[in-house]
Amino acid sequence: MSQEFDVIVIGAGAVGENVADRAVQGGLTVALVEAELVGGECSYWACMPSKALLRAGEVVHAAKTVDGAAQAVTGDIDVAAVLKRRNSFTSDWNDSGQVDWVRGAGIDLVRGHAVFTGVKELSVTAGDGTVSKLTARHAVVVSTGSTALLPDIPGLAEAAPWTSREATSAQSIPERFTVIGGGVVACELATAYATLGSRVTVVSRGALLANQEPFAGEAVAESLGAMGVELHLGASPASVERRPDGVVVTTLDDGTAIEGDELLVATGRLPRTGDLGLETVGLEPGEWLRTDDTLLVLGSDGKPLEGEWLYATGDVNHRALLTHQGKYQARAAGDVVAARAKGEPVDDAPWGRHVATADHQSVPQVTFTDPQVASVGLTAAAAEKAGHSIRVVDYEIGNVAGASVHTDGYQGTARAVVDEERKVLLGVTFVGPDVQELLHSATVAVVGEVPLSRLWHAVPSYPTISEVWLRLLETYGRDGSA
């Protein structure tokens, strides 16, 4: 069977869905191709199930930090109820609801694995072996995401370790749980499993959350330690062995043997591009797809492919491996494809809406550990490396009246990185309970390059934790001096 569409989108995760929807709204016909579940990684194995696993622990811990509420917390977390609630978030890994949305949006869904057979041409093999031939009149968009990286550690592959997929979809909680890695996924899932009763051990070659401000990783490490998590930082796994009674990780530095019932590997991501037939169109399989700011894929010469027809959005282009940034790219790409199909200008569109630039430096991210880490823009180290003249302003969030009302003995830190030449914010980091709700205000300030002189007139409500904005400005000083 052969079919022709204006646009073909490969990958029906949150990013691909948004590309397709935007293109349809632009008046184009769209085929959305998916080999697994419609809704993708975020819906079934990442953002949503992981936060569902974390939430019960967050609520219980928050209650225990407020006198009066603490006395009401007399039992343990009901693990079975947590897992049941998590299952509801994934609709028990049934995508019928999302399929209904796709069809209702006027998008044609094609199930199966897509492989390029030529320029704007794809072969899609369904689960029953049926093959469909699809042709795009204007564009193909690759939104296939990323997959877990398994480092080259002797015995690791044979030990059948968990990745984030197995950890977020597990139907029981192991008594002993070992985590290799120190990034966001490792820290979040170590937190979740510790609150659900596992004895957790984390093995990381470096500090936790090494790409964040140093105090963020230190606060998370202290919190994990207080939960009973055993931390082996600065330790590299030398070998892994699956035994009848569990998995053993031996560290390189001192030969320590760490025993666990299950092992999670969270050391990075790889692009899902190895089996798409990219060699057919002159690209390297298994590599990230570099793009320009209109999300056009660039060839080895740094230029878009001839005909400017291939786009890449989300994790697969390695610009910012976050769902919200991928959806942002998707909206831009869908608009750009529709504009080019109609012969409309792209670069001078209203508000620059056809160009993605917010994923260069002003990327917001929340790590849902306890305490949470919320950041946007550059860290102090990254800003200095980029050659900016900066001043770093820190403030203890617990000194804000709203924080004391929120939690007894609130502990947290806010940091603003100021561009001293332009007097605007380059980056902001918050660490503390519920600081994720402060992040969008910081994102607006950083992305909008709001002068500090104007931020003085953005008055925070009292008593709320957002009053930390005023305290940061006061610490900086109205004239730039404390």
What residues form the annotated binding site for NAD(+)?
181-188, 268
Cβ burial of 471 (10 Å; 0-12, 13-18, 19+) is: middle
CA distance 93 to 41: 11
User: What is the gyration radius of the CA atoms in the chain, in angstroms?
Assistant: 24
Annotated binding site for FAD: 51, 144-146, 315
Residues ≥6 apart with Cβ < 8 Å to 322: 363, 365
Residues ≥6 apart with Cβ < 8 Å to 433: 62, 65, 370, 371, 372, 406, 407, 410, 412
Residue with tokens 């900066």: 390
Give exposure, 341-374, as e/b (b: 16+ Cβ within 10 Å). Answer: beeeebeeeeeeebbbebbebbbbbbbbbbbbbb
Nearest to 268 by CA among 186, 378, 327: 186
CA distance 277 to 275: 6
Annotated binding site: 51, 144-146, 181-188, 268, 315
Omega of the bond leading into 350 within 30 degrees of 0 (cis) = no
Nearest to 435 by CA among 366, 361, 377: 366
Residue 434 near residue 66, CB atoms below 8 Å: no
CA distance 413 to 432: 7
CB neighbours of residue 289 within 10 Å:
24
CA distance 247 to 228: 20
CA 43 → CA 36, 105, 205, 323, 387, distances in Å?
12, 18, 30, 10, 39
Residue 11 near residue 33, CB atoms below 8 Å: yes
CA 390 → CA 417, 422, 454, distances in Å?
7, 10, 19
Amino acid in the structure at residue 466: S
CA distance 355 to 277: 28
The phi and psi torsions of 270 (rounded to 5 degrees) equal -125, 150
Q: Where are the alpha helices (DSSP H) in 371-465?
A: 380-385, 401-406, 439-447, 452-455
